[in-house]
């Protein structure tokens, strides 16, 4: 087999039970990539799908030599699946893209053109129109970006999801990060590499259902906060300081009351103080716990994903065994 040319572009697509949308996705993406007139690879990361996704991918590979399938042993989640794809991608440029056609693949050529023309490392796809998302998703997304900015995660463009183009240097930098549960949409801007944005209208999921239950969204948000900011810990310190000042004032009041003989049966105030301070303490413990938990998982050093097979290396092995 003639060895395929080194890909200029790698497109990394995480897929979890996307059999319904896969044929539509292939149909939309292939003309865009073929039209680039440059060697490319499509790295489909099959994130432990339980439906017909792997079957469809193998079938598509027969007619699409640039399609490379990276199968993960078990479902690792969106961010980990993208990380797996980034580690495997060989291109000089790497685009990450969801499989559900919410982010139109037609923007890819524009991203590459902008990166080359402006000499930047990263081109973020920014959703200028999210009217196709549910009101709930829009509101929570807005809250997410606002909170993250408040916490000091600067540089992340608003409403930039995981649709972005990265240079080889950027991908190498991301791959070299020791963090386990990295939230790529914050990690990449934090590198601070030169970047630009390309706007597009977010579309509805072409088929199938969202693989992002509320619990996962909450997890992503917690990972984002604890992975990016120590602000909540500072908040705990400020609570503590405020509480201390209040306690001193209350102590003075209590002493004066005692000396002047005005000691009343202050049940309500006692209950309120105890309740308020206990709640604050629990809150601060919880904040601390989130960070300790992060240290704990990072000390365990458990991989966030396991690769079952990569069609590229499988092929190479076959050729060395039966040349």
Q: Residues in the site for ligand UDP, rule: CB under 6 A?
A: 14-16, 18, 47, 75, 77-78, 81, 98-100, 102, 210-212
Contacted entry of Mg ion, ligand UDP, none for residue 124, CB cut-off 5 to 8 Å set by kind: none
- Check residue 17 for interaction with Mg ion (CB under 5 A): no
Which residue, 98 or 223, has its beta carbon nearer to ligand UDP? 98
Judge whether 107 and 197 are in contact, CB under 8 Å: no
Kindly report the number of other CB atoms within 10 A of residue 176's CB atom: 7
Q: In this complex, which beta carbon is closest to ligand UDP, that of residue 132 or of residue 311?
A: 132
Please check whether residue 14 is in contact with residue 85, taking contact to mean a CB–CB distance below 8 angstroms.
Answer: yes
Q: How far is the CB of 107 from ligand UDP (least distance, A)?
A: 16
Beta strands in 18-116 (DSSP E): 40-46, 67-72, 93-96
Q: Is 77 or 284 the residue whose CB approaches ligand UDP more closely?
A: 77
Q: At what angle do helices 168-176 and 184-191 cross, to 10 degrees?
A: 110
What is the distance between the alpha carbons of residues 109 and 252, in angstroms, rounded to a whole number?
A: 70
- How far is it, in rounded angstroms, from Cα 207 to Cα 133? 14
For residue 91, the partner it binds in Mg ion, ligand UDP, none, with Cβ less than 5 to 8 A by kind, is none
H-type helices in 231-266, by residue range?
A: 231-259
DSSP 269-287: HHHHHHHHHHHHHHHHHHH
221: buried, middle or exposed (CB in 10 Å: 19+, 13-18, 0-12)? middle
Q: With respect to ligand UDP, which residue has the nearer C-beta, 122 or 127?
A: 127
Shortest distance in whole angstroms from residue 278 CB to ligand UDP: 37
CB of residue 212 to ligand UDP, shortest distance in Å: 4
In the complex, the smallest distance separating the C-beta of residue 129 from ligand UDP, rounded to whole angstroms, is 15
Cβ 227 to Mg ion shortest distance, Å: 22
Nearer to Mg ion by Cβ, of 100 and 180: the residue is 100
Other C-beta atoms lying within 10 Å of the C-beta of residue 101: 20
CB of 151 to ligand UDP, least distance (A): 21
Rounded Cα–Cα distance for residues 11 and 33 (Å): 9
- Out of Mg ion, ligand UDP, none, what residue 211 binds, judged by CB under 5 to 8 A for its kind, is ligand UDP
Choose from Mg ion, ligand UDP, none: what does 18 bind? Cβ within 5-8 Å by kind: ligand UDP
Beta carbon nearer to ligand UDP, 119 or 303: 303
Chain positions 74 to 103 lying near Mg ion, rule: CB under 5 A, are 98, 100, 102
Binding-site ranges for Mg ion (CB under 5 A): 98, 100, 102
């Amino acid at each position: 087999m003639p060895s395929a040319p080194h890909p200029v572009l790698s497109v990394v697509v995480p897929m979890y039970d996307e059999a319904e949308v896969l044929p539509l996705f292939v149909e939309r993406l292939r003309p865009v990539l073929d039209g680039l007139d440059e060697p490319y690879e499509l790295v489909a990361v099959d994130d432990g799908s339980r439906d017909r996704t792997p079957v469809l991918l193998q079938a598509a590979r027969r007619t699409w030599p640039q399609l490379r399938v990276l199968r993960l042993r078990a479902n690792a989640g969106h961010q980990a699946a993208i990380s797996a794809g980034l580690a495997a991608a060989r291109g000089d440029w790497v685009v990450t893209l969801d499989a559900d056609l919410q982010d139109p693949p037609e923007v890819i050529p524009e991203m590459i053109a902008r990166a080359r023309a402006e000499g930047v490392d990263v081109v973020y796809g920014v959703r200028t129109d999210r009217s196709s998302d549910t009101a709930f998703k829009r509101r929570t997304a807005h809250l997410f970006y606002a909170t993250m900015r408040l916490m000091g995660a600067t540089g992340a463009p608003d409403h930039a999801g995981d649709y972005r183009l990265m240079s080889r240097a950027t991908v190498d930098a991301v791959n070299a990060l020791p963090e386990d549960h990295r939230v790529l949409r914050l990690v990449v801007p934090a590198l601070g590499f030169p970047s630009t944005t390309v706007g597009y209208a977010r579309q509805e999921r072409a088929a199938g259902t969202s693989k992002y239950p509320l619990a996962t969204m909450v997890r992503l948000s917690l990972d984002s906060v604890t992975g990016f900011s120590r602000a909540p810990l500072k908040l705990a310190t400020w609570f503590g300081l405020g509480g201390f000042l209040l306690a001193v004032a209350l102590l003075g009041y209590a002493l004066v009351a005692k000396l002047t003989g005005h000691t009343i049966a202050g049940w309500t105030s006692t209950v309120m103080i105890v309740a308020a301070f206990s709640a604050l303490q629990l809150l601060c413990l919880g904040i601390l716990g989130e960070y300790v938990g992060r240290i704990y998982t990072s000390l365990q050093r458990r991989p966030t994903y396991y690769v079952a097979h990569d069609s590229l290396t499988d092929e190479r092995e076959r050729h060395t065994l039966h040349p």
